[in-house]
Amino acid sequence: MTAPAVPVTAGDRVRQAVFFGGVVPASDNEERLAEEVGMALAGAGFELLHGGYNGLMEAAARGAAAKGGTVTAVTLADRHAEWGGFNPHITGEVRLPDLGSRLNHYLDRADLVVAMGGGIGTLHELTAALYYAGNIRPVPVWLTGPTALGLLAFLRREKWLFETETRPLGFLIPIASAAVFATQLRDLTRPTEGEA
């Protein structure tokens, strides 16, 4: 059994990473990447929040669980029965009344948002995170995996997403691999001068 991860704190609370990923992975490689992302996050002491269901969410939860991490499912109260049971790696749950409450729960708590491929639900979550990070609070948003990176390239090429002086995109980081993810995570969690 793996020892529990040491929590990374943000002030007086454990840091939380929100994971947006779909129920149908594009490939076995994408699923493996999601599991490695979950392992890295838990290994760095992050609590993982996501929908709680299968596919990429389950792979990330499996990775987090392998490192002793906490995985909280955030779902809609009136849809849970329809959407099915949570994956077996969930350690806690939050059931909310509507999509707005669910997105606000994720984004208001996020110290990091990680997005991979998915369906229209994942696209909705990601665009909400991009708007939030660009206009409300500059939480880091990391896109990884071929599907999410392809979407990012499309959004930039078609000018759905572009940087201006008043709308910087420094919060948005494309991540090409699990190794790059681990390096970025180390940089993100490295204590700044004056922190112990």
The residue type of 95 is: R
Give the residue-averaged pLDDT of 112-123. 95
Give the residue-averaged pLDDT of 9-23. 83
Q: How many CA atoms lie within 13 A of 100 on its CB side?
A: 0
The residue type of 181 is: F
Lowest mean pLDDT among 2-6, 55-59, 114-118, 188-192: 2-6
CB 59 within 8 A of CB 32: yes
Q: What is the model's pLDDT at position 25? A: 85
- Confidence class of residue 98 from pLDDT cuts 50, 70 and 90? very high
Q: How far apart are CA 59 and CA 70, in angstroms?
A: 14
Q: In the structure encoding, which two tokens stand for residue 173, read together? A: 């980081």
Q: How far apart are CA 91 and CA 60, in angstroms?
A: 13
Task: Write out pLDDT tens, residues 129-175.
Answer: 999 999 999 999 999 999 999 999 999 999 999 998 888 899 999 99
Which residue carries 């708007």 as its tokens? 131
Model confidence at 5: pLDDT above 50: no
- The bridge status of strand 13-14 relative to strand 71-76 is unpaired
Model confidence at 1: pLDDT above 50: no
Q: What is the model's pLDDT at position 3? A: 33
Task: Write out pLDDT tens, residues 29-62.
Answer: 999 999 999 999 999 999 999 999 999 999 999 9
CB 49 within 8 A of CB 72: yes
Q: What is the model's pLDDT at position 12? A: 61
Model confidence at 17: pLDDT above 50: yes
Q: What is the model's pLDDT at position 81? A: 78
Model confidence at 73: pLDDT above 90: yes
Residue of 129, 118, 114, 151 lying closest to 36 (CA atoms): 114
Q: What is the model's pLDDT at position 83? A: 83
- Confidence class of residue 190 from pLDDT cuts 50, 70 and 90? confident
